[in-house]
Structure 1
Amino acid sequence: MTARVLMVQGCTSDAGKSTLVAALCRWLHRQGVPVAPFKPQNMALNSAVTVDGGEIGRAQAVQAQACGLEPHSDFNPVLLKPNSDTGAQVIVHGRAVANFDAVAYHDYKRVARDAVLASHARLAARYDVLVVEGAGSPAEINLRANDIANMGYAEAVDCPVILVADIDRGGVFAHLVGTLALLSASERARVAGFVINRFRGDIALLQPGLDWLQRETGKPVLGVLPYLHGLHLEAEDALPAARIAVPGARLRVVVPAIPRISNHTDLDALRAHPTVEVILVGPGETPPACDLILLPGSKSTRADMAWLRANGWVEALARHLRYGGKVLGICGGFQMLGRAVHDPLGIEGNAGSSDGFGWLEMETTLATQKQLREVRGRLALDDAPVRGYEIHCGVSEGPALARPSGRLDDGRLDGAMSPDGQVLGTYLHGLFDEPAAQAALLAWAGLRDATPIDVRALREASIERLADAVQSHLDTDALHRLLGLEAGCAA
């Protein structure tokens, strides 16, 4: 059996493609339909470890959760992880294959297309429905040649497309009509309808525009999704707001917004906590006084260390520690806390070595083999159970590792802690997601009686809200017809 395929494309980045795909996946999963997510090509620095030992975009892991599935490398066969303004690490079927600049990758797309279609074929043979997410906009005419992310894929597998646009930013009708105008005749024909996202207000005031849109384009509006406040979903890539006021916050966490920050979803549980304030500090900004400085993951550790130095963070860290504050480094942030980071093979940029910040007695060397694994273990803090995942090329060595931050169930030691207990480093992403580990880390940082939150449960509740929105606000009969399904029945 070959799966029915429905693709969601957006007029712009951040139009709501990822959330609409997750919503449709959970809506179908509720009906007993064997459904899987698919994103042919993704560009993101937030990634997840897969059940088959690979790496995919974080959004596809959320979509897999919406389908009741473990993440698999076929769900996102091509992942681009930018390591400069013009280059990226290219990951195919979960494994890093090369670093390419934009021009070289454009030529490589012919190879990447084969990988995309191979993953599509495997999934189409296994599931009844594939809900596919495009990337960016299909109207980026400069990137049309050898396209595998949007209409190039849709044309290759001959699937219908839903076009989604964000009304909250304004210009929604121009986005939709302009996107259609820039498509070829065959591409326009496969657009089955529109979804307008993030609407707040009186739908009656919008209705004349919807009527005009349908007359002008001949395409139906499949629905208008409301602005859903308070969703707790892992972001595909974009950084969250720099600061959200938390009335009654009792712990302040400051995070440098380094240029190549990766897996900043590590902050999600902290940002959701009712008594924790998280502040992202950008270039040229002075870090405010806080309880904890968190150095996040980085796709280009040495380049981001240079950025931190140029923006006064060496002095800020020293001052913070002198006044008794705590510092936590995760993955690349952990590597920065050592004496040096070596990249002899140029894995993350130009080959060479850089001095670290020197708070932990260790050095890190980047190696070709990336470590990709889900892990469980216990923190050195209160022996709290922890689980997370590793995505890193670095191998760290030195006396600091004799004081690990945790012990893993596979027998390995993780991370390091300074003798005075002020500086903690770990390779584990997602460590705040486990409530017991979260409570132990918050207590170490100074919030000793905080009730931890279960961010995984919050994410699950958010996915349910998305499916409810599909059921209430979209034309579900039209969606069933697009997928060849009987209303409310499994395929």
Structure 2
Amino acid sequence: MLQGTGSSVGKSLLVAGLARALTRRGLRVRPFKPQNMSNNAAVTADGGEIGRAQALQARAAGVEPSVHMNPVLLKPQSEVGAQVVVQGRVHATARAREYQAMKPSLLPFVLDSFERLRGEADVVLVEGAGSASEINLRAGDIANMGFARATGTPVVVVGDIDRGGVIAALVGTHAVLPPEDAALVCGFIVNRMRGDLSLFAEGMAQIAARTGWAPLGLVPHFGGARRLPAEDAMDLADHLPRRRGNGGTDGACRIAVPVLPRIANFDDLDPLAAEPEVDLLMLRPGMALPGNVDLVILAGSKATIADLAALRAEGWDTDILAHHRRGGRVLGLCGGYQMLGRRIADPEGVEGPAAEVPGLGLLAVETVLRGDKRLARVAGETLADAAPFTGYEIHIGRSSGADTARPLLRFADGRVDGAVSADGRVAGTYVHGFFDGDAQRRAWLARLGAAAAPDGHGAAVEAALDGLATHLEQYLKVDELLRMLR
């Protein structure tokens, strides 16, 4: 089990890289994260949802994602509350304190999923959540030492040298752990080193001396991680910065994406960010929408009405309407699609307080947030040009109205999805992963006057996973990690 000195120390990528490395050695590997908090989710083949990171780790291991790889998924809907998904299905909505009381009742689900995976694998790579040193949350813990103690799983603690203070973080973690928990820790990893590795040799020795933990590797920063999906919206600053293709020349197409507080499934943007002829601008609070963008994308949201209010508070609604008046294009994905309509109603308070608000009015569509969450993998083609796509649906709510008579997509089973405005410049869809397919992405970029790269997105992700595995084989003591398994 890899636990961290804090959030975002690189545990997810380390598990993915190790999964690929051990799979290449001929081992049957399964990733597992008892509890995850993320609005970046993936849909499994059996119609459940798990954290996007575990789907990537499954891909690294060469297996289909399963709901048992992430039995508890927390999807924040507000500053204090989250949707609780258990073994792929919505279980409850809880505020932080309510969830703390709920955790002991979720441990049987976690252990059931873990045993299922252990029964089909040679190696289960477990990823902790947050920090191993959160002793204030230790009672009832299912994400870190609580899980490790319940299963007797050996623990390796990961620290991030790039954020500074890694010696204090690792030694401090050792200092606050109860003796029974500390007994499970058998080593440590220092991640994201930049520059001369020899400069931290004494640091590794000091950590080992003060903790008694085995030094299992000083891992340099891996630049190829940009080609792999990020798990957390906090990672967006590093993962999807402004990318300029062709140095901003006339050949580059410019796409802007407002980053809203509850943005979800933002890995939809990864394939576009990787394109050399795409200039992708992630709009942060306080930034205005430039007047020269070709396309505005409104991404998914875990709380559509709240994020629409945030968009208006930034003045981005005015910018988007002006962009459209100038002849610009707008695309809405899932929650972004709902925002483009004339009205959004949440009569039962599914995503927050019950409310009904006007949308941006760029599509003749109205949305009611009601009914069961739809979770499904889908495939089909765009009606305008028969370009194929694959993706998944993960949403609550149904949209209807005049513009749905011009659907954007047709699924393989004959159903249609989305809407297109009468002028053809505004469109929306509930499908995520829309740009992953090379043919679909190529068609959209052609409309914007840009050419897609010849190498496909999927091939680039596979190459990045292979590169990460090779990187970890070089800098981690993988054989020693294997000897620690039990």
TM-score (norm 1): 0.95
What secondary structure sits across from 1:367 in the alignment? coil
**1:452/1:310 CA distance change after superposition, 3 Å:** farther
Matching residue's letter, 1:305: L
What secondary structure sits across from 2:389 in the alignment? strand
Matching residue's letter, 1:357: L
Tell me which residue corresponds to 1:435: 438
Tell me which residue corresponds to 1:164: 158
Tell me which residue corresponds to 1:468: 470
CA distance in 2, matches of 1:246, 1:384: 24
Query: How far 1:147 moved relative to its partner?
Result: 0.3
Q: Which of 370, 390, 393 is the matching residue for 2:393?
A: 390
The answer as to whether partners of 1:273 and 1:452 remain within 8 angstroms in 2 is: no
CA distance in 2, matches of 1:443, 1:341: 32
Tell me which residue corresponds to 1:236: 231
**1:196/1:120 CA distance change after superposition, 3 Å:** same
Query: How far 1:339 moved relative to its partner?
Result: 1.1
Matching residue's letter, 2:137: L
Identity within the alignment, %: 51
Residue 273 in structure 1 maps to residue 275 in structure 2? yes
The answer as to whether partners of 1:436 and 1:452 remain within 8 angstroms in 2 is: no
Tell me which residue corresponds to 2:99: 105
Query: How far 1:62 moved relative to its partner?
Result: 0.3
The answer as to whether partners of 2:224 and 2:468 remain within 8 angstroms in 1 is: no
Report matched runs for 1:40-439 at 5 Å. 40-231=34-225, 232-238=227-233, 239-241=235-237, 242-249=241-248, 250-289=252-291, 290-439=293-442
Matching residue's letter, 2:419: A
Query: How far 1:284 moved relative to its partner?
Result: 2.4
Query: How far 1:480 moved relative to its partner?
Result: 2.1
Q: Which one is further off, 294-303 or 241-250?
A: 241-250
CA distance in 2, matches of 1:472, 1:129: 20
CA distance in 2, matches of 1:80, 1:388: 22
Query: How far 1:483 moved relative to its partner?
Result: 2.2
Matching residue's letter, 1:379: T
Query: How far 1:452 moved relative to its partner?
Result: 5.7
CA distance in 1, matches of 2:2, 2:229: 19
Per-residue deviation, residues 411-449 of structure 1 (Å, max 9, x unmatched): 1101111111110111111111101100111223x2244
Per-residue deviation, residues 20-69 of structure 1 (Å, max 9, x unmatched): 11111111111111110000000001000011210000000000001111
CA distance in 2, matches of 1:352, 1:226: 49
CA distance in 2, matches of 1:246, 1:177: 44
CA distance in 2, matches of 1:419, 1:244: 32
Per-residue deviation, residues 189-227 of structure 1 (Å, max 9, x unmatched): 111111111112222221112122222221111011111
Matching residue's letter, 2:479: D
What secondary structure sits across from 2:369 in the alignment? strand
Q: How many pairs are equivalent?
A: 477
Q: Which of 10, 21, 24 is the matching residue for 2:18?
A: 24
TM-score (norm 2): 0.96
**1:451/1:125 CA distance change after superposition, 3 Å:** closer
Matching residue's letter, 2:242: R
Matching residue's letter, 1:332: G
Tell me which residue corresponds to 1:36: 30
What secondary structure sits across from 1:85 in the alignment? coil
CA distance in 2, matches of 1:298, 1:381: 26
The answer as to whether partners of 2:277 and 2:451 remain within 8 angstroms in 1 is: no
Matching residue's letter, 2:228: L
CA distance in 2, matches of 1:339, 1:155: 52
Query: How far 1:141 moved relative to its partner?
Result: 1.9
CA distance in 1, matches of 2:127, 2:391: 26
What secondary structure sits across from 1:206 in the alignment? helix
Per-residue deviation, residues 71-118 of structure 1 (Å, max 9, x unmatched): 110000000000000000110010012211111111111221121111
Tell me which residue corresponds to 1:4: none
Query: How far 1:248 moved relative to its partner?
Result: 2.8
Gaps of 5+ in 1: 1-6, 485-491
**1:267/1:303 CA distance change after superposition, 3 Å:** same
The answer as to whether partners of 2:381 and 2:388 remain within 8 angstroms in 1 is: yes
What secondary structure sits across from 2:228 in the alignment? coil
Query: How far 1:368 moved relative to its partner?
Result: 3.1
The answer as to whether partners of 1:248 and 1:275 remain within 8 angstroms in 2 is: no
The answer as to whether partners of 1:381 and 1:440 remain within 8 angstroms in 2 is: no
The answer as to whether partners of 1:110 and 1:146 remain within 8 angstroms in 2 is: yes
Per-residue deviation, residues 348-395 of structure 1 (Å, max 9, x unmatched): 001121111111111111123111111110012421011111100011
Query: How far 1:453 moved relative to its partner?
Result: 4.8
The answer as to whether partners of 1:269 and 1:453 remain within 8 angstroms in 2 is: no
CA distance in 1, matches of 2:207, 2:285: 42
Matching residue's letter, 2:98: A
Query: How far 1:245 moved relative to its partner?
Result: 4.1
Tell me which residue corresponds to 1:488: none
